[in-house]
Amino acid sequence: MVPLEREPLASLRREKNFFYPQIDFSAPKALDPLRILIQTLFLMMVCPPRGHGPRLVNTTLAFLRTIGAAINRMGDAFGALALKVVRNLADDSQRYPIKSERKGLSWVSWLFVLPGIALAALCITQPFNLHGQIVFLTFMFCSMIVMTRIRARITLMLLFVISFVVSGRYLWWRCTSTVSMGSGLDLFFGALLLIAEIYAFAVMVLGYFQVCWVLDRKPAPLPKDRETWPHVDIFIPTYNESIDVIKPTVYAALNMDWPKEKLHVYVLDDGSRDYIAAFADEVGAGYIKREEHNHAKAGNINHAMTVTNGEYIVIFDCDHVPSNDFLTSTVGWLVKDKNIALVQTPHHFYSPDPFEKNLHLDRAVPIENSLFHDFIQKGNDTWNATMFCGSSAVMRRVALEEIGGIAVETVTEDAHTSLKLNRRGWSSAFIDRPLASGLSTETLSAHIGQRIRWARGMIQIFRVDNPLFGKGLTLPQRLCFFNAMLHFLHGAPRIIFLLAPLPYMFADIYIIYATAAAVFAYVVPHMVHTAMTNQILQRGYRYPFLSGVYETILSWYILIPTTVALLFPHVGKFNVTAKGGTIGEKYLDWHISWPYLVLMGLNMIGLAIGINKAIFDPNPEYLTLVINLGWIVYNLMVLGASMAVAVEEKEEHRFPRIALNLPIVLEKADGTRVNMRSVEYSQKELRIRAVDTQFEGLADGEVVYVELADGDNCQRFKATTIKTIEGRGIDLAIDLPDTTVERAWNSATFSREGMWAIKPEGTVDDRFLTGFLKLGELSLYGYRSMIEFLPGRVLPAIRDGIRSLLPYRPVSEKRRWSRY
């Protein structure tokens, strides 16, 4: 690849400072292969040698493109062969292509997985000395670099294999060579870390399995004759939410593109409020309440099933607003395949969640739950294990009735219901298209409360209806459901990782009983391969390094509920997540962030001890100190970013605003018509901007009319100017005098076709290094905010505390003392 001279090695011996100045070729050293690899990659990718740069880079890229093309052709041939085998094996392949793909993938995957597992086990358990380990990992690292340059599904699977082997070798080494039996404390802390690492490895492997070949299902067409379309009941359960939260969802349900005589919208009010009943009656929706309020949301839906009779049931949380093409995009699969009981769509949110809002993330950055709802669910669909998420889903009534309705045994009734359906042989589907959007939790404390319920409920399912046991599930289904439950046990492992370097700092306890060189040879490759593979796998669904922040924030708060659920699965109740609130002033939630402060304080003490050891210890173990100090610094970065999430930002608007770029016609009171563009809207407001740079603006309080397209129609609304924003446009208050106009506004905005499938404008730099730098930036913001929002009494208390630690000295013969 680099034919610089006829005898490059001889040239390097003569001028060793040319390409590899750090290598003495006359006296090779053990780590020289690793040095050569690093220097070669640096010369190839970052800083080519003068005079050879273009040739070197072009040759390298051409080589990689050739490899990529060959692998893509191999992948296409493999896929064609697999599909041919499937069609020969499956009688109904032409009728149900998705079912055929699932069958073929399962059959072909097991054909290759079993020998692959045997080969991986051989690679993982093969004993190497330190030099052999370095050579082996050098080969694996080069393979990974090549694979990352090739965009193909099969190369992603090969990356999974490489990551599995490298991490498996690390874990094998940890289990067989690094657990110290010297003292009780060494064994205790070492075993804790090892258990946490085994847990992380299990989650990683199961995650790779879930998404190794995701199914990108598209909507199935409905019959052309609309008269044959089925009756659909839309359930909107509510308990104590405000009417302003409920209205957009009810209007959007009524605005759906579906035969009106076959569309039945019901508000299920567990709060039994008269004004909700009056609103439902006014707009033409049904109203259902019950006398006994047992089993929370699940009981509310089950009661509604007894007084309705639609063939299909659609469930929306009362803040989840669907676009008008929701039914036409989902029901087709239920009509086409009579064995499908559930069609789930992604959960998207039109208001920013606490991470997006408090960390000031761009709207184009994937939100916290995007990884599951936009990616993992597609992998679940591959294995016929799509999970019901409680909202934005269509279900077959006869299937629900067969399992006794929505599950009531746990507080996560949605996931448990989908598990029960799969056990009875029903299939499920996932449409990868946002067709509804809801309100996020407004504060970090509300977010944590919601996740506590989810974590408790998933562990309750693990105890009362464990997917690993019982009849009716395939092995892939068992693994998908099990991984969803296992994920919520991350509380203890995450805390262990945040505290792991401290035993050595505090008491010279070796939690990994090995030389520093061996730690570098095994730990660093494991971390690099895992991080790189996940970064490639999750690109577009999870920003680099934010997973650690998400887990750190929840770790302490889900630890106790999940532990209790493991021991006492029937303890706990359903808590309604508060939605639709506002934040008047910016503040730091000290109460919710106290676990992060404790972990932060311990790590800072460990950092100070480590620096003291490096400077004043007569025989410091520098490599060990570097490893532990680096670990502590990373922990402090994650904890600082976690504190940044606890800084609640002020919300300027009562109703969340949603971006929408559409042509608008503005008509002034004198009849002048001006072409404008919409910028964003809310339930009662609209921001527009002028297309013509000569537009002079509007006076505050000026009455105007705005016209915007709604499908084939044009909607016209009266509005009043709120204010003109320099360089940003004009804010208008829309006049909505009655429910008819409100519903029309909803049709033109919230529920317009494809509204929630519009991707945010802009791009995100989600490279690995950029993500790490972003983590550092968020961490600094968290620490600055801690200083900014210190309570008034804290600074004097800190000052007095420091003064109390100062020594005293005598000042007279009477032994009076003063501070030194």
Task: Single out the catalytic residue among 381, 414, 465, 766.
Answer: 414
Q: Measured between alpha carbons, how far is 378 from 488 in angstroms, rounded to an integer?
A: 20
Q: Measured between alpha carbons, how far is 487 from 387 in angstroms, rounded to an integer?
A: 15
Query: Can you list the positions of beta strands (E) in 568-672?
Result: 587-588, 647-648, 658-659, 663-667
Q: What is the largest CA-CA distance in the chain?
A: 109
Q: Check whether 753 has a pLDDT greater than 50.
A: yes
Distances (CA, A) of 21 to 12, 36, 39, 563: 9, 10, 9, 56
Q: Check whether 526 has a pLDDT greater than 80.
A: yes
In this prediction, residues 643-653 reach a mean pLDDT of 88
Task: Single out the catalytic residue among 270, 353, 710, 731.
Answer: 270
In this prediction, residue 513 carries a pLDDT of 85
What is the DSSP track for 269-336? ETT--HHHHHHHHHHT-EEE--S---SHHHHHHHHHHTT---SEEEE--TT-EEPTTHHHHHHHHHHH
In this prediction, residue 110 carries a pLDDT of 57
Closest of 390, 391, 432 to residue 415, by C-alpha = 390
In this prediction, residues 324-343 reach a mean pLDDT of 96
- Residue 104 has which token pair? 């073929």
In this prediction, residue 735 carries a pLDDT of 95
Burial track 412-440 (b if 16+ CB lie within 10 A, e otherwise)? bbbbbbbbbbbbeebbbbbbbbbbbbbbb
In this prediction, residue 801 carries a pLDDT of 55
230 versus 136: the higher-pLDDT residue is 230
Mean confidence (pLDDT) of the chain: 83
Tens digit of each residue's pLDDT (9 = 90 or more) over 700-741: 899 999 999 887 788 999 999 998 887 668 999 999 999 999
Tens digit of each residue's pLDDT (9 = 90 or more) over 117-159: 677 777 777 777 777 888 888 888 888 887 777 777 777 888 8
CB under 8 Å to 558, separation ≥6 — which residues?
Answer: 451, 452, 455, 488, 490, 491
Confidence tier at 85 by pLDDT (50, 70, 90): very low
In this prediction, residue 6 carries a pLDDT of 40
> Which alpha helices (DSSP H) does 90-152 contain, by range?
97-125, 130-148
In this prediction, residue 95 carries a pLDDT of 42
Closest of 507, 518, 599, 517 to residue 555, by C-alpha = 599
Q: Which helix (H) or strand (E) holds 614?
A: helix 594-616
Q: Check whether 191 has a pLDDT greater than 50.
A: yes
Q: Measured between alpha carbons, how far is 177 from 171 in angstroms, rounded to an integer?
A: 10
Tens digit of each residue's pLDDT (9 = 90 or more) over 258-285: 999 999 999 999 999 999 999 999 999 9
Of the listed ranges 86-95, 199-208, 435-444, the least confidently predicted one is 86-95
Distances (CA, A) of 811 to 98, 411, 820: 90, 69, 10
Q: Measured between alpha carbons, how far is 299 from 407 in angstroms, rounded to an integer?
A: 9
399 versus 66: the higher-pLDDT residue is 399
Confidence tier at 522 by pLDDT (50, 70, 90): confident
Q: Measured between alpha carbons, how far is 462 from 476 in angstroms, rounded to an integer?
A: 16
In this prediction, residue 804 carries a pLDDT of 52
Confidence tier at 90 by pLDDT (50, 70, 90): very low
Confidence tier at 39 by pLDDT (50, 70, 90): low
Tens digit of each residue's pLDDT (9 = 90 or more) over 387-433: 999 999 999 999 999 999 999 999 999 999 999 999 999 999 999 99
- Residue 518 has which token pair? 């061996």
* 3-state per-residue secondary structure call for 245-274: HHHHHHHHHHCCCCCHHHEEEEEEECCCCH
292 versus 91: the higher-pLDDT residue is 292
In this prediction, residue 553 carries a pLDDT of 95
- Residue 538 has which token pair? 């999750």
Tens digit of each residue's pLDDT (9 = 90 or more) over 608-639: 999 999 988 888 888 889 989 999 999 999 99
135 versus 662: the higher-pLDDT residue is 662
- Residue 756 has which token pair? 């929630």
- Specify which of 8-17, 383-392, 645-654 reaches the highest per-range mean pLDDT: 383-392
Tens digit of each residue's pLDDT (9 = 90 or more) over 289-305: 998 889 989 999 999 99
Which residue type occupies 265? Answer: V
pTM assigned to the model? 0.82
- Residue 248 has which token pair? 């957009």
* Residues 747 and 606: beta-carbon distance below 8 Å: no
Closest of 491, 507, 497 to residue 606, by C-alpha = 507
Alpha carbon 815 to chain centroid, angstroms? 66
Tens digit of each residue's pLDDT (9 = 90 or more) over 527-556: 888 888 888 888 888 888 999 999 999 999
Of the listed ranges 180-189, 562-571, 747-756, the least confidently predicted one is 180-189
Confidence tier at 218 by pLDDT (50, 70, 90): very high
Distances (CA, A) of 500 to 384, 511, 599, 632, 730: 39, 8, 11, 9, 54
63 versus 517: the higher-pLDDT residue is 517
In this prediction, residue 506 carries a pLDDT of 93
In this prediction, residue 575 carries a pLDDT of 61
How many CA atoms does the CB half-sphere of 340 hold within 13 Å?
A: 28
236 versus 759: the higher-pLDDT residue is 236
Of the listed ranges 66-75, 207-216, 339-348, 581-590, the least confidently predicted one is 66-75
Is 270 a residue of the active site?
yes
Q: Measured between alpha carbons, how far is 612 from 361 in angstroms, rounded to an integer?
A: 37
In this prediction, residue 115 carries a pLDDT of 66
In this prediction, residue 810 carries a pLDDT of 46
In this prediction, residue 10 carries a pLDDT of 47
pLDDT above 70 covers what percent of the chain? 80
Confidence tier at 596 by pLDDT (50, 70, 90): very high
Burial class (CB in 10 A: 0-12, 13-18, 19+), 726: exposed
Cα dihedral sign, 756-757-761-766: positive
Closest of 754, 757, 742 to residue 249, by C-alpha = 742
Is 233 a residue of the active site?
no
Q: State whether residue 152 is helix, strand or coil.
A: coil
Q: Measured between alpha carbons, how far is 716 from 703 in angstroms, rounded to an integer?
A: 13
Strand partners, 428: 342
What phi and psi values does residue 814 have, to the nearest 5 degrees?
A: -85, 10
Q: Check whether 105 has a pLDDT greater than 60.
A: no
Q: Which helix (H) or strand (E) holds 690?
A: strand 685-690
What phi and psi values does residue 523 have, to the nearest 5 degrees?
A: -70, -50
